[in-house]
Structures are given as structure tokens and as C-alpha cells.
A and B are shown apart, each in its own frame.
Chain A
Amino acid sequence: MLDTFEILTTSGVVLWSRSYAQVSPSIINNFITDVFIEEKGGAIAGARNDQSAAQNPPYRADQHTLKWTFVKELGIIFVAVYRSLLHLSWVDKLVDNLKTIFVDLYGDQLKKPNTTLVHCHKFDGYFDQQLRELESATATKGAPAPTFALETDEAISGNLGDEPPLPPGLKHRNAKAQDGAHDLPSTVESTPIATPTSSRPSTPGGAHLVVGKGGPMSKMSRRARKMQKSPSAPMSSGDESSARKKKAPKKGRKWDADGFADEEDDVQLDYSAAKSDSEIEGRSTAVDSVDSATWGVKTTKGQFVLRDLDDEVHDILASAQSKPSTTSNSGLLGSGLNTINSLFRNVVGGKTLTKEDLAKPMDGMKEHLIKKNVAPEAAVRLRDSVEKELLGVKTDSFESIDTRIKKAMEVCLTKMLTPTSSLDLLRDIELVTRPSGFSTQKARPYVMSIVGVNGVGKSTNLSKICYFLLQNKMKVLVVAGDTFRSGAVEQLKVHVRNLKELTEREGGQVEIFEKGYGGDAATVARDAVRSATSEGYDVVLIDTAGRRHNDQRLMSNLEKFAKLANPDKILMVGEALVGNDSVMQARNFNASFGQGRTLDGFIISKCDTVGDMVGTLVSIVHATNVPVLFVGVGQHYSDIRNFSVRWAVEKLLNSN
């Protein structure tokens, strides 16, 4: 059973929701942050506008599964939440159908500027109808126990698979399982829409249609059928005119109640009928004709009205299905005018961007990024998300497509590179070394370690950070964790000696902790942290041996290292010079610290040597979602800088 179904806008307002079980709001919040804002998981977040829920990868969190779909033009998200234990194959269909219905009914209201009000409490009826229909469709299909089990089994594997699109065979079966759901719209579709009364008898369960104002021809046969099938209602069948009299005042009363939201079942159902009356005005003629049918049955009981709701819903779904085929250009003249218009719009602006308009400039943008040393994988992702952003957008007056794309790319890059939380290293250190009065934590040294591939500048950047900390009058212990390469310990010793001399007057204090060569780096690090705790150091900086990111033997040591030393921050040094390999480097290092531990930040070294080609920054952030903390911009101890997003974006978009 479904736990929650919500319809919310991208601005965060829940327009409509139905809840069957308590679901923590944090689930949907996390879903939004992960999928939409931080774009975790999927490398390509784009192209999901208006996609059916089956193609969107389901989001799993805390025993719940979320199926969702997104309509970009209106900025609304449809989310269904259910327990992961239940494998509800019809949820995709439910989400898609409700999306179609909701957009059809309330699309106009959503386009209004400067308001979040959408009067959609009448949506309850549509939701109930869809839920019941889809549930019963699966239930009847699955009645033979063995086949049902088989189907759900396959559905499970499909659901759990990493690939969102189901294998073709499975899709076929799923479609079969939902045959019942398909059947109904197809009957409506096949029969001429202008005569809905004739289609009604063909829908299942039409036996109980007590229609007072139906067509005179069908009335006879219906009454006859009703006499046969419902003998348990002698009252209504016996004297029809009196029954109608009874219902007439009832109708009036309900109308009153309908004007405002009411949760009671009968009223609510009647409500939807009344609503369809007032709401449908100005919609397509096809729906209007159904509307007249809804009129006729309005005086009957809730169930009967529901049947009409069915018809209406199927109509909306059917018209949505047939929509793509009807959008054809109107002859030679029309297409000629369109071309002239679009040429004109290119210059003046106000052009609605289509995929064809965007294709070429977007590829140009991708090439531009690759020239700036962005890995192709990351460039493609950026291109796709910019394209997703721009599809259907109108350009401003006197704005060319290129400027619009540049603007969107700037936004996209900024969003990607901006860290989720603030990265003030000094504040972090202060919080750990001098915890405030209320907190239960004891003061301890702040542990940072630096990892990376050979020769990227780990020791150099460690010394730079050390110099920065020393200038802030901290007591730093540098740990020689590279017990492997000859000369590594001596190199660090030289650095520490230099730093000591440089900061003597400033008041910083630095020592080196070394155990020579050949020892286990993880144990050395642990010992160093212990001795630093007892001697009251503020910061422990651990250097590590360089390792190739695809060497499993060397990388496996890192997990033990992370466990024993337990650093507050693990920083990885990456060269700005490296090209496409940066993606794999970042990914492998990020994954090497075991469960639940990732990198905390990057230092990009040698930025002064690449000029504008700082694409490596983008590649690694794309690969890991881990922010860049520092950039190295020179040979001196002071040549380290905080990473500024604006600076990077400017350089990347600079076109000479």
C-alpha cells in the first residue's frame, strides 16, 4: 500500500498530498537535495523533464522507495512513497496518470506569477479513482497465485536493478499486468468521444447505472438490465419518479456543501462532479462533451458519479496520449512563417528554445569546456544539465542563444562547484581544539591527512597549509607517513626546519613526528595522534605515500589508515595539469576509505601552470561531489589560496 503521495512545486510548496502512513518529511527533503540539488548518484542528471516515472531511477531511503516524475515548465514534482518491502508495480503508472490529470486540470493555475495558491482540493476524487482502478487492475490480473508471484519477482529484480529502464521482456509483462488499466482508456479512445453515453455500457461495472436523464433510447435497455441485475433495490426500481423527487432536494443541498472543501466521502465525490462542471470551461471540446454526460448523472449516488469521473479521467489520459500526433505544422505557408519568425526571434530575442536550436551551440559549449581541460564526461553532464535547463525557455529581448547558454552555464557551474556547507578551516579547528562550554566533547588535536597520486605535490601542499596554520599561532605536529619512498622523511624534515625559522617570530610551533622507513603508515599515524593528544598540539598533519589510484594493493592500505588515524579531514591533492584521468583518480580515492568515509576536500596544485585551463576542478567535483578547498598557485609557502567559485567560473567561460 502507498504511504504518501505528494505533489509539490520546485519552490517547495506542497500543493496536494495524501498520506496513508506517517512518513518523515526528511525523506522527501533528502530526496530533493540528493536528486535535484546535489545531483548525486546519476552522472547525468539531465533529460529527466516530463519523463515517465518508470524511467526515473527510484530513490531509496530508510526502508522507503520513492517513485517520482517532474514537469519542468510548471515546476512541479510528483512523488509517491511506499515501503521498499512492497513491490507495487502500478506505482509508476499511478504517478504518470496523476501527472497527466493534474497538469491538464491545474496547469493554468500553476502558470500564474507571484502566487503559490492552487485550488486543487478537488483532486482527491481523481486520486481515489486512479488508485482504485490501478490497484484493482493488478489484483484481478494477479489472481492466479503462481503467475502473480512470478511477475512480482521479476518486478523486484527490475526495481532493484541499477538501470532505471526495465529489460524489454519485463516491460512487456508489466504492461500485461496493467492491461486492465490500459483497457479502459482504450475503450474510450476507440469509441467516438462525442457520444460518451454509448461507451458507458461497455465499461465494466456499468450495470448499476441508474441514469435519470440519459438518452431515451438507452434508457429502456438499462432499466431492463437493472431489473435483472439488482433485484435487491426494489424501492428505486419500483417507483422511479418518487425516487427522483427524493433526490432533487438532495442535489441542492449538496451543491451548497460543494462550494467548500469537505472530507466526507459522498460529498467529496459529488463535489468532483460539480467541479468538473465549473472547472472544465475553456478546456478542449472533447472534454466538454463528456461534461454533459457528467451533468446527467449528477443526481445519483456517489458511486455512479464515480463512473463518470472514470470517463473524464480516461478522456484526459486519452487526449494526452493522442496529443503528440496532433501537433503538426499547418502547410507550407505556416512552416515558412515559422522559419521567418524564428530567424527574427534569433536576433530580437523572445524565442522559445527547442532541442534543435540548442544542439549546435551546446556542442560548441562542450568543445569549449573540453578545451579548458574539463574531462569529456563532466562536459557532457554540464551540457545536458544546461540543455535541460534551457529547453522551452524564452530568451530575453535582444538576447542571442549563445549569451543565454553562457548565462545558464555560469549558473550550472556555480551550482556544481559551490560547496554545500561553509568551509572555514580555522573555525573547524577552533571548534575541535577549544570546544565551547556546553558541548560534551573534550579538547583534542585536529587531524588532517593528505593523500594523492605520486608527484602531485602532497608534501609541498602540506607544508603550505602548515605555514598558514603557524601564522595563526597554532601548535602543529607534522607526521611523516611516507615510510616507503627514500628521501621522503628527509624532505619533510627540511620543510619543518624551514617553517620553524620562518615562523619563529610569529609564535607558531611546529615539530616533526617520524619513525623512519619501512613501518606501517597507519600505525605511525595512530601513534602520532596519541602523542599529539598528550602533548597538547592543536593540529596534526599527516603526510602519506603517493599511490597510483588503480593499484588495488596500495589503495587498500588507505582503509586501515582512515580507521586508525581517524582524521577529521582527508584532503586529496590533485594536479591541475592532469587531464581525463582526474575523474578516475578522484573516484578511486574517494571510494578507498571504506564504508561511510569519503574525502573531505581537494587541493588543486599547480594552478599557476595552466592559465585558464582549470577544467580539472570541474572534473573532480563532478566525479565525487566533494568540494575544492584550496588551490596552489605558486612555489612559495604562502602561495596557497582559498578556492573561489567565481574565479573558477570566470576562467572557465573566458573564451580566449
Chain B
Amino acid sequence: MDQLVEYIEYILTPSKAVFIVGTLIVFLVPIIVHILVTRATPYTNLPSVVLVGPPGAGKTSLLTLLERGDAAIDTHTSQVPQSIELTVSADQHLSFREAVKDDAPGEHKKFLLVDTPGHGKLRNFAMDSLVAREGLKGIVFMLDAATLDENLAATANYLYEVLLALQKRVSKTKTSKTPSVINVLIAANKSDLFTALPSTLVKSNLEAELGRIRKSRSKGLLASGVGIDDVDNEENDDWLGEFGSEKFTFGQMQEFNLEVDIVGGSVTEAKVDKWWHWVSERL
């Protein structure tokens, strides 16, 4: 007890040592707290690339391939989004195999690759991140080129939603400043399979189907909650691309600062170099 009293008395009496320690605490504590806090949330400002697409297209497989660098591992239906941190070289073209290594040459840029679930019920996350995500640099829309014939309608529908969301995002921000170009890569996966369509055919099929969807949507019913007065409102306009045009082409999206590229590849055979280059060029 006596010791405690002595100790308190010592602290409360002004002396050189007490002052020095006190000042140190006053100056160091904020710095330490700042370091701790910033370390806890380090991944906020990295640029990101979002993987979207129908289920079974190979999104998660591509993610694992790019992360591991050698081969994709088995995957199943995703339920939650997953992001991984990847590095690209800033000054030279590196294949994804080299970029994975720690000792890859050149300057590095880190970015997040975000995988989203493709299941119909779980697309909210993908759609939300397209609209609201900070630092969104590109979107990779994956599709299964081998079964595109059967799944054309479903795939194109999702693509329509994605492009429409991006188009709205661009038209919304029109007032303040010219928005940056958003790049969309349509990655036609599974080119290793016999039935896979080449990317030119994928493109023409998708364009035709998107055109048809656009047409039927314009004739469709209004969504519940939309009043009669809002009909002419631009926000509720579901027309994708150049208004009134007869045919839909991906080129029309340039009006909305959207660049769409279609490139084929295969995750199973690790032929994803073109996609990787596309990503590294856009960052």
C-alpha cells in the first residue's frame, strides 16, 4: 500500500522524467493507434477487377488458376464472393505464371480479383459491386462457349443486366465529370472442348440475342412499384445501347464509355494469357 502511495506521489510531482514520459505518450499513442487501425484495413483502395457470369462458366476456376499459377483446382458452386490479391507488372508483359512468383521482375501493381457467385439468387452482390464499387477497373464476364447454344438465353440475359447496370452507372454520373471508360471482357471459356464456339461466333450470337432481349423488354410489362408518371423517366429506361437502333452491336456501348472485347480461352488448359494481358493492360 505504501508503495502504491509513493508511486502515485512520484507521478504527480513534476519532474523531468515524468514530463518526458508524458510527452512521449501524448505523441506516440496517436501514431501507434493510426498504424494499428490502418493495418487492420489494408485492402480498401486497391483497384479491382470483377468476375461475373452464369454459374458453371469457370469463374472460380480462373481465380484459382491465376492465384496458383500452375493449374486450376477443382471448384464447386460458389455461394459467397471471394477476392484475391494479384500482382501485375507495370512495365512489361509477364504471363500470369511469372507474375505469381515473388521474384518476378519489374515494377508491380497490386489489384483485387473479385469472384462473384453466378447463381441466379446470388447475383445481387455482383450487380451491387458493378454499380457501387470504388476503383473498378474492369469486368470479366465469363461464359461457357461449349454449351452456349443451350444456355444462350440465360447467358445473354445476365450479360444484358450487367451491361445495363454499367450503362446506367455511366449515364448517372454524366453531370459532374466525364466518367472513366469501363472495360468489359467477355471471356469465352472452355475452348478446349470440341463443341466450343469460336469467339467471333460467340460475339454474333450474343449480339443477336441481346438485340432480341432488348426488343422484348421494351414491350414487356412495367415492374411493380413503377408509377405511370415515371414511364418516360430515363432511370427506368431499359433500352441497352443506341436508342432506336435496329440491331444491337457491342460497338454501340462506346457511347456510354463501355469497351467490350471478346476473347476465347480455356482455364483447364491454362490458356488464359490473353485474358491476363487484357487485365494487366487495363490496370
Contact = CB atoms under 8 A, between A and B. Distances in A.
Interface in B110-129: 112, 115, 117, 119-124
Contacts of A115: 67, 84-85
Interface string A8-19: 111111100100
A261 to B, nearest CB: 12
Given A12-B78, A25-B76, A424-B213, A38 B121 contact: yes
Interface in A81-125: 113-117
Interface in A436-474: 438, 468, 471-472
B221 interface: yes
Q: Mostly helix, strand, loop or mixed at chain A's interface?
A: mixed
Residues of B in contact with A, size category: 35 or more
B244 interface: no
A372 to B, nearest CB: 16
Contact of A8 (B76, B115, B216, B219): B76
Given A424-B217, A427-B216, A472-B219, A10 B78 contact: yes
Nearest to A419: B120
B84 A116 contact: yes
Nearest to B42: A113
A329 to B, nearest CB: 26
A414 B225 CA distance: 16
B216 A25 contact: no
Contacts of A201: none
Contact of B76 (A28, A75, A425, A630): A28
A427 B153 contact: yes
Given A29-B76, A411-B124, A431-B153, A631 B219 contact: no
A221 B219 CA distance: 90
Nearest to B153: A427
Interface in B56-102: 56, 60, 63-64, 67-68, 73-85
A631 B224 contact: yes
B212 interface: yes
A33 B158 CA distance: 18
A338 to B, nearest CB: 22
A421 B120 contact: yes
B77 A647 contact: no
A531 interface: no
A13 B82 contact: yes
Nearest to A647: B225
Nearest to B63: A116
Contact of B220 (A33, A426, A650): A426
A108 B5 CA distance: 45
A463 to B, nearest CB: 14
A414 B84 contact: no
Contacts of A607: 224
B222 interface: yes
A643 B74 CA distance: 37
Contacts of A520: none
B120 A418 contact: yes
Given A115-B85, A468-B221, A14 B149 contact: no
A286 interface: no
A33 B77 contact: yes
Contacts of B67: 115-117
Nearest to A650: B225
Interface string B142-165: 000000010001100110000000
A630 B219 CA distance: 15
Interface string A34-48: 001110000000000
Nearest to A471: B219
B32 interface: no
Contacts of B76: 6, 8, 12, 14, 25, 28-29, 32
In the A-B complex, the 5 residue pairs with the closest CB atoms: A647-B225, A12-B78, A11-B82, A644-B223, A641-B224
12 contacts: A6-B74, A12-B75, A12-B117, A36-B79, A37-B79, A114-B112, A421-B120, A422-B120, A426-B216, A642-B220, A647-B223, A647-B224
Given A32-B76, A415-B121, 16 more contacts: A6-B74, A10-B80, A11-B80, A12-B77, A14-B73, A113-B43, A114-B84, A114-B85, A116-B64, A116-B84, A424-B216, A424-B217, A640-B221, A642-B220, A642-B221, A644-B225
